[in-house]
Structure 1
Amino acid sequence: MQEVGEIMHLAGSGRVIIQLSKELVEGQILCDEKGTRVAKVNEMIGPVSRPYASATPLTNSIKKYIGKSVYATEQSPVNKPKKFRRRK
């Protein structure tokens, strides 16, 4: 896992705002240092030089992660190939 940013605050819409240090893709799952899934990136916002991400929380206790670093998983679910496909 590689560190990608820090959770800044919880927005009024219920999403988490994350200040990024590395570039991410939409749909990326973010974890804490223990590997617990914390958030899923919805959109990139802010300036290109120092972007922010708006993410949907994946845990009920998101307030305890504010101010903590988040890490990206090795393989994004967006790029992950599907294992099983339904036959027609």
Structure 2
Amino acid sequence: MHLAGSGRVIIQLSKELVEGQILTDAKGTRVAKVMELIGPVRRPFASASPLTNNIKKYIGKNVFADDNSPANTKKKNRRRKK
């Protein structure tokens, strides 16, 4: 993970992620939210917004995709009341 001048973090991906996915540390602490996927398809990166004020603590460390992230869950169909 690298801290960009914009305040976002840039993460080299080892598996496919989607925009809006939450990234956590090894303990499950929410670290960042994926905002966009960038770079070549063979070696993708993600630009993510920090979810912690102490993001510098995570620079150079591995982060993991949170499988319970809202981006991973399907939206339920909602009926409109008439």
> What code does the residue aligned with 2:47 have?
S
Aligned alpha-carbon RMSD (Å): 1.8
Match of 2:37 in 1: 44
Deviations along 1:8-63, one digit per CA (max 9) or x if unpaired, are x1111110000101010000000000000000000000010010000000000000
Identity of aligned residues (%): 78
Point out where structure 1 has 5 or more consecutive residues left out of the alignment.
1-6
Does the alignment pair 1:15 with 2:8? Answer: yes
Secondary structure (helix, strand or coil) at the match of 1:64 reads helix
Match of 2:60 in 1: 67
Structure 2 residue corresponding to 1:28, chosen from 21, 24, 35 = 21
**69-78 or 35-44, which moves further after superposition?**
69-78
Matched residue pairs, number?
80
Output the TM-score relative to the length of structure 1. Answer: 0.81
Q: Greater strand share, 1 or 2?
A: 1
The structure number with the bigger radius of gyration is 2
Point out where structure 2 has 5 or more consecutive residues left out of the alignment.
none
Output the TM-score relative to the length of structure 2. Answer: 0.86
